[in-house]
Amino acid sequence: VDLLAPKPGERILDLGCGDGALTAKLAAMGCDVVGVDGSAEQIGAARALGLNARVVDGQALDFDGEFDAVFSNAALHWMKDADAVIDGVWRALRSGGRFVGELGGFGCVDRIRTALHAALVRRSVDPVRVDPWYFPTPEDYGGRLAARGFVVRSCELIPRPTPLPTDVTGWLEVFAVAFTSPLPPTDRAPFLAEVQDALRPALCDADGRWTADYVRLRFAAERPCG
């Protein structure tokens, strides 16, 4: 939000707004905010906060030159067609509009992802087919922005080990559903236990506290005037 530097009265698209926590923050700063998210459940939660929010696939945005800025937090790594996202953001912005975001960056949850992949391979499931995440390098994402015509002001990786409020199974139950859903329901708990055991030496300390190996990619870009 600091990098976005929103001004009162600006019209802002919150791309992948989730339950609307940051959308509400932008609205409280005096912005005219529209939140979009692919999940009807999340949009229901955002609307319950009184926000203007709609179910929209971020890879198929159809806004036309109406936003001063597009903002996104912790959502773009779920959208594997990055060029489709960037095209839609470009069209949604007015000339001079900015695109500011943070997503999982290259190496994000690498240990968790490796353990998930290995456990699926042991069950003869192709992990690449089910893996829902896109964690780009700055060169990859910045290059795509520049190729579309954006002026890239900044684009950097930020390692951010993040303490978890639960064990890693709690995190996997929220974020790794795509890896468990191909398995028969009765196999899911043993699968998660196996992944947690594999991760314990790297991600759990002597007091039983778990930390996720997050890496963020943070960027700011501008659609030039003209």
Provide the binding-site residues for ligand BEZ, judged by CB under 6 A: 74, 104, 108-109, 133, 175, 214
**Sign (positive or negative) of CA dihedral 89, 90, 92, 95:** positive
Among 60, 157, 170, smallest CA distance to 112 is for 170
- Helical ranges in 31-126 per DSSP H: 40-48, 82-92, 110-121
89: which 2 tokens?
A: 């953001």
C-alpha distances in Å from residue 163, one per residue of 73, 166, 168: 19, 9, 10
Closest contact distance (angstroms) between CB of 206 and ligand BEZ is 25
CA 68, CA 59: separation in Å to the nearest integer?
19
C-alpha distances in Å from residue 181, one per residue of 33, 165, 178, 198: 34, 24, 5, 20
Between residues 98 and 216, which has the closer beta carbon with respect to ligand BEZ?
A: 216
Between residues 28 and 174, which has the closer beta carbon with respect to ligand BEZ?
A: 174
At 37, the amino acid letter reads: D
CA 211, CA 189: separation in Å to the nearest integer?
21
Between residues 15 and 108, which has the closer beta carbon with respect to ligand BEZ?
A: 108
Closest contact distance (angstroms) between CB of 168 and ligand BEZ is 12
Closest contact distance (angstroms) between CB of 51 and ligand BEZ is 20
Between residues 51 and 109, which has the closer beta carbon with respect to ligand BEZ?
A: 109
Closest contact distance (angstroms) between CB of 74 and ligand BEZ is 4
Closest contact distance (angstroms) between CB of 133 and ligand BEZ is 6
CA 205, CA 192: separation in Å to the nearest integer?
19
Between residues 146 and 177, which has the closer beta carbon with respect to ligand BEZ?
A: 177
Closest contact distance (angstroms) between CB of 225 and ligand BEZ is 33
Between residues 94 and 111, which has the closer beta carbon with respect to ligand BEZ?
A: 111
